[in-house]
Amino acid sequence: MEKRDQLYEGKAKVLFSTDDENKLIQYFKDDATAFNGVKKGQITDKGVLNNLISARLMGLLEVVGIPVHFIERLSEREQLVRRVEIVPVEVVVRNRAAGSMSKRLGIKEGTILPRPVVEFYLKSDELDDPLITLDHIEVFNWASHDEVDQMIEMSHRVNDVLLGYYANIGIHLIDYKLEFGRLSNDPDTLVLADEISPDSCRLWDMKTGKKLDKDRFRRDLGNVEEAYQEVVDRMGLS
Ligand code: UDP
C-alpha cells in the first residue's frame, strides 16, 4: 500500500491518501487536546498506544459483525482504513454518569445508569459540540432517519461487546464517544469510524477506581502515559 498525500490533520490523527482511492492511512499523533482544543499538550507514545488499542477493539467488533472502517494495523502509528464521509454527529454511550452528564444533570460521577444511554452531539468546535436531539439531526440533514436508527442500534451492540471485553480485563467502561461514516464507494453503508481509545473513553479500574483514560490529562492527574500503557498491558498487547 503506497502512502500518498496528506488529506486532513485533526487534533489527534492525520489522514493520508493511498494508491487505492477507497482506502486511507490513519496516522496516530501524540498530541492531546481537551475542552475542544483549549488545553493542549503531548502524551509520550500516545499515538502508538491508541493505535494498538483501537485496532484491537475495532477488530473485535468486526469479528462479531459490526461494520467498521478499520482494515489493518500497518505500523506503530498507522492503520489502513476504508475511506468514509464522516457523519457530523458524535455519538456518546454512557453506562455510568460522568463528565458532562454529571455536570449538566447534577448526577454524581459513577452513578450506575439503569440502562445504557445514547446521546448525540454536533461535531462543531466553533459551537463547542452542542448536545442535539434526534429531530435536529433529521431536520438539518446531518443524517437520515434510517441512519439515526442504525447508529443507535450499532451503538448498543458495540456497548455489549466492549462492556464484556473491558470487564474481563478488570475495567469499568463508564462512557465513550463513537463516530460513524458512509463508505465513499457505497454511501448507503454506514460503518463505525475514527478510533476507540482512552482518548475517547472513560475507563476506571474495577478494584481501585483509578482512571485509565484522558481524564488524567484533562484533570491534571499525572501519569497519563502509564495509564494508557496499563490498558495496553491488560489487553495483552505489550
Ligand atoms: N468524548 C470524546 N470527544 C468529545 C467529547 C467527548 O471523545 O469531543 C468522550 C469523552 O472522552 C467521554 C465521553 O465521550 O468518554 C463523554 O464525554 P462528556 O460528554 O462527559 O464530555 P467531557 O466530560 O469529556 O467534556
Delimit the domains of the chain by residue range.
Answer: 3-84, 85-223
Residue 92 beta carbon below 6 angstroms from any ligand 1 atom: yes
Ligand 1 atom 7 nearest Cα = 200
pLDDT at 1 over 90: no
Residue 99 beta carbon below 6 angstroms from any ligand 1 atom: yes
Ligand 1 atom 3 nearest Cα = 200
d(CA 206, CA 96): 13
- C-alpha torsion sign, points 70, 71, 74, 75: positive
Does the predicted TM-score (pTM) go above 0.95?
yes
Identify the architecture of domain 3-84 in CATH: 2-Layer Sandwich (3.30)
Split at pLDDT 50, 70, 90, the class of 55 is: very high
CATH class of 85-223: alpha beta
Split at pLDDT 50, 70, 90, the class of 7 is: very high
Residue 202 beta carbon below 6 angstroms from any ligand 1 atom: yes
- C-alpha torsion sign, points 166, 167, 169, 175: positive
**pLDDT value of position 36:** 87
Percentage of the chain exceeding pLDDT 90: 98
Distance 199 CA to ligand 1 centre (A): 9
Write the CB contacts of 188 (distance below 8 Å, at least 6 apart in sequence): 182
